[in-house]
Amino acid sequence: MDFPLITIDGNLISSLEECFENYQKPKKIIDDSCPNCKNIEMIAKYIILEIPPVLIINLKRVGEQSIYNHYIKIPHQLDMGKVIKNSINFSPSIYELRGFIKHKGDEYFGHNYSVLKNMFDGGWCVYNDNYICRCINESEKSNDIVFLCYIKTLSQSQNINYVEHIVDKLNKKI
């Protein structure tokens, strides 16, 4: 999903939840492609129908320099039932932040690096070219983030059903 960090009325967005709200707001579109029609106004409204097990979010930090260092509140857990509005056939789910990519620099020059959560011990690691650091401070997780990776968490019964499904598939192949 691509989320701009500036609303249509020019305000800076302060949280990931606000990105979802802004995305789902009705937007006025003016079509000036037809010379006979003379600027037709339409309203576009995006409805999120389904969320995949892995959710990749692009925080669009293009434009003014101030947006590159703009702080966005990023939750470790994202409750999709609270952020998705007016959806059809949507089952609410909890997503856990597993990694993100940061950009140091501006829109013309810079460097990207990854910060990933260790799935075994829950610790965070910075992967920056040949440099890997297991311990990071909270400032590593605050600003300059351009991509987020969330993974859908499963309940214990969903995990059991998933394991049973895999075992059934394996038994059929034997």
Model pLDDT, residue 56: 92
pTM for this predicted structure: 0.74
Pick from 87, 102, 92, 84: which is nearest to 149 by CA? 102
Model pLDDT, residue 22: 87
Locate the domains of the chain by residue range: 2-173
Whole-number Å distance between alpha carbons of 83 and 152: 14
Residue 161 confidence (pLDDT) above 60: yes
Token pair 């434009």 is found at: 63
Tell me the per-residue pLDDT of 38-65, one tens digit each, with 9 for 90 and over: 677 778 877 777 778 889 999 987 665 5
Neighbours of 91 (CB within 10 A): 9
Identify any residues that bridge with 59 across adjacent strands, giving them in sequence order.
3
CATH of domain 2-173: 3.90.70.10
* % of the chain with per-residue pLDDT over 90: 9
Tell me the per-residue pLDDT of 71-120, one tens digit each, with 9 for 90 and over: 889 998 988 877 776 655 556 688 999 999 988 877 778 888 999 888 77
Model pLDDT, residue 137: 56
